[in-house]
Structure 1
Amino acid sequence: MRYRKVYGQSKVATCMFCSKQATTQNEQEIPVCIAHKNSELNAFKCACGDYLDLMHGKYGPFFKCERCGLINMKKALELNEIKDLSEQAETVEKTTNDTSSESQDKPKKVNLFGEEDPENAEEIVLPGDPMYFD
């Protein structure tokens, strides 16, 4: 059985940096999301070692190698690591580093009344507590 084609469902471009739906193009005319509009791709290398030239065609961006010929975007992305060179990526890294340093700190001890316990406070174990037999 053959299904009817639906307008706009046959090709959905995705952002190569975050895999969200691409809604715009960057300066290199690569489909990206709004968050990566100012980002650029670094130089890609082919499997043979030559640099790839970014080209644009009817079906989207692709790469051209002097030795190997035409290479599609998916294969070029498999061969190379994507690095986001935008300023936004730097700010995101800074914020993640700030939050990770906070999570490494010791959690504050809070008693039942919501007050912070002093760090030098001793634990009192009564005979009725489960900790009594340990």
Structure 2
Amino acid sequence: MGPEIAELARTAGTTMVTLMAGQAWESAREGVLTLWRRFQPDRAETVGGELEATREDLLLARESGDTDTEAELTAEWQARLRRLLVARPEVAGELRRILAELNPELSPAHTTVEVRLRAEASGSGRVYQAGRDQHITER
């Protein structure tokens, strides 16, 4: 599993649990269930029940100020989504689309990354820099 998949699972799990306590809950729930119905239909009903149970636990935790439970619930959903992504990598595109609909600020059009690189080499030194992936095949 690459870091991109891990980050997607982390973001999706956090977003899901955050939306469970708000007005976007039904849309978030339906989005997640759509993934399971499409990619692991035999688990969809179980996942629906788990979503409902998580929401109930989350609402109780928020009422009592229990941040530990909220963190645990978030970690659980991050792990569930990560396992789904590992088992079915083709889910990633659909999950990104659902996240963009639920939280437009997560879409690539709203994401700005600034990278500044500075290096100095002297003599016969070499500098390799990249803002992301870099592959060097020297011999």
TM tier relative to shorter chain: under 0.3
TM-score by length of 1: 0.21
Q: More strand by proportion, 1 or 2?
A: 1
Which has more radius of gyration? 1
Question: Highest relative contact order (Cα 8 Å, sep 6+), 1 or 2?
Answer: 2
